[in-house]
Structure 1
Amino acid sequence: MSAWHNARETWATVDEDDIEFVVRDRLPDWGLTRRSRRIAAQRLTERDASVEEIAGLIGVAPRTVYRWRAEGFQEAAA
């Protein structure tokens, strides 16, 4: 992640309650931070959610979910 992204707290912060809301209840939350979206996508992938469902729940394009899966969700763990 660039220095600009790291400097923006809103991009790097994680709210576990928001993530759990999306993963457990499968209700959309497009207000997740970038890092929270990746974590939610990873957890939904582990629960066998489809790419289209994940994209719709977290407010990204399906292509983004495919890319994150190909990258192994590296940034989510960081």
Structure 2
Amino acid sequence: MSGWHKIRPCWTDADEYDVELIVRDPRPVDGLTRRERLLVARGLTERAVPAEEIARIVGVTPRSVYRWRSEGFRQAA
């Protein structure tokens, strides 16, 4: 594990309550961990939100959202 990952374990930290709030009221949010971004993207995908809108909300490119979808959001599990 790299030094950066030891300082900030971005794959294991997620605030489920915050994720649910963002999914219910989708608006751009800063400061999400990578796992939270995946969880929000999965929740919004389940609600048929377009990839471009999901990307805007979680602060990534639409290509990232398409990739996460094709991988089945495996990293968020």
TM-score under structure 1 length normalisation: 0.85
Post-superposition offset of 1:30: 2.3
Query: CA offsets per residue over residues 1-37 of structure 1, 9 Å max, x none?
Result: xx23653445120011221121001121121100010
Distance (whole Å) between structure 1 residues aligned to residue 39 and residue 49 of structure 2: 14
Query: Partners in 2 of 1:8 and 1:50 — Cα distance?
Result: 34
> Partner letter of residue 17 of structure 1?
Y
Answer 1 or 2: which has greater helix percent: 1
Counterpart CA distance in 2 for 1:10 and 1:56 is 24
1:1-78 pair list within 5 angstroms = 3-4=1-2, 6-12=5-11, 13-77=13-77
The alignment-based identity, stated in percent, is: 49
- Structure 1 segments, 4+ long, off by >4 Å, are none
- TM-score by length of structure 2 reads 0.86
Gaps of 5+ in 2: none
What is the count of residue pairs matched by the alignment?
A: 75
Instruction: Report the aligned-residue RMSD.
Output: 1.5
Task: Tell me, yes or no, if the aligned pair for 1:19 and 1:36 is still in contact at 8 Å.
Answer: yes
Q: Per-residue deviation at 1:73?
A: 0.4
AA paired with 1:73? F
